[in-house]
Chain A
């Protein structure tokens, strides 16, 4: 596809349920990022994948959050036992890596998660 694609665009779930959010990066982009953005707030870094390196998980807020990436393609962010405070927009971005430097990041439209 032409850009970063995220699905679903909206998700309403009950407290305590697990959710999976999907991100399809731009083909050929080795770097992939996940962020959380609460209403009126900035982007909170969650996790960063770069090629075959071990992911940087330093931003994951709790062990209920996990993410996987298949090679250099699709990524899935999983939130287990969702809580109301998990309600936010989850944004995914990808970028190419040229001579060791990540180029501009392209963002998807995000998944709006509402936990009721």
Chain B
């Protein structure tokens, strides 16, 4: 199984850019990298998915280097409402299609 490692927690202030890095050293060739966000008392919500280089949507950007052994979720100009747990997942054949969540990164945004 492809295992992911990410920091347990991070602090930031409103208006700052936040970068959360995830390592996935044994990612397989046809695996994708996906990030989810979870607010308290809610189920996780899909944020972004990528395979290589850079992906951007209205919420975040995802940077994936050429070796794909890590990825960085970038949240521009965070606000208090971005306080949540962020999970990095590897999806594909290495996990036989199922979604394996790690402990995630708890992001605390301060005023």
- Is the beta-carbon distance between A41 and B43 smaller than 8 angstroms? no
Among B46, B92, B98, max chain A CB count under 10 A is at B98
Q: Which residues of chain A are near B91, meaning CB under 8 Å?
A: 101-102
Residue of B nearest to A40 (CB): B106
For residues 28 through 85 of chain B, which have their beta carbon under 8 Å from a beta carbon of chain A? 32, 34, 36, 42-46, 49, 85
B43 engages A45 (CB within 8 Å): no
A109-B102 in contact given A48-B97, A104-B49 (Cβ < 8 Å): no
A59 to B107: give the CA distance in the assembly, Å: 27
Residue A20 at the B interface, CB < 8 A? no
Cβ proximity bits B89-105 to A, threshold 8 Å, 1 near / 0 not: 00110001111111110
Number of interchain pairs (Cβ within 8 Å): 54
Min CB distance A8 to B, Å, is 15
Q: Which of A4, A105, A109 contacts B99 (CB 8 A)?
A: A105
What band does the interface of chain A fall in when counting residues whose beta carbon is under 8 Å from B?
A: 20 to 34
A44 vs B99: C-alpha distance when bound (angstroms): 10
Contact residues in A for B87 (Cβ distance below 8 Å): 42-43
A41 adjacent to B98 (CB under 8 Å): no
Chain B positions within 8 Å of A109 at CB level: 42-43
Contact B43 A104, beta carbon cutoff 8 Å? no
Interface of B is mostly: loop
Q: Jot down 28 A-B pairs with beta carbons below 8 A, ordered by A.
A: A33-B99, A35-B101, A42-B85, A42-B87, A42-B101, A42-B102, A42-B103, A42-B104, A44-B101, A45-B98, A45-B99, A45-B100, A45-B101, A48-B97, A50-B97, A56-B96, A93-B43, A101-B32, A102-B91, A104-B34, A104-B49, A105-B36, A105-B46, A105-B99, A106-B46, A107-B42, A109-B42, A109-B43
A104-B46, A105-B44, A108-B43 given. 18 additional CB < 8 A pairs? A4-B43, A42-B87, A43-B44, A43-B101, A44-B101, A45-B100, A48-B97, A50-B97, A56-B96, A93-B99, A101-B32, A101-B91, A102-B99, A104-B34, A105-B36, A105-B99, A109-B43, A110-B43
The chain A residues found within 8 Å of chain B, CB to CB, are: 4, 31, 33, 35, 41-45, 48, 50, 56, 91, 93, 101-102, 104-110
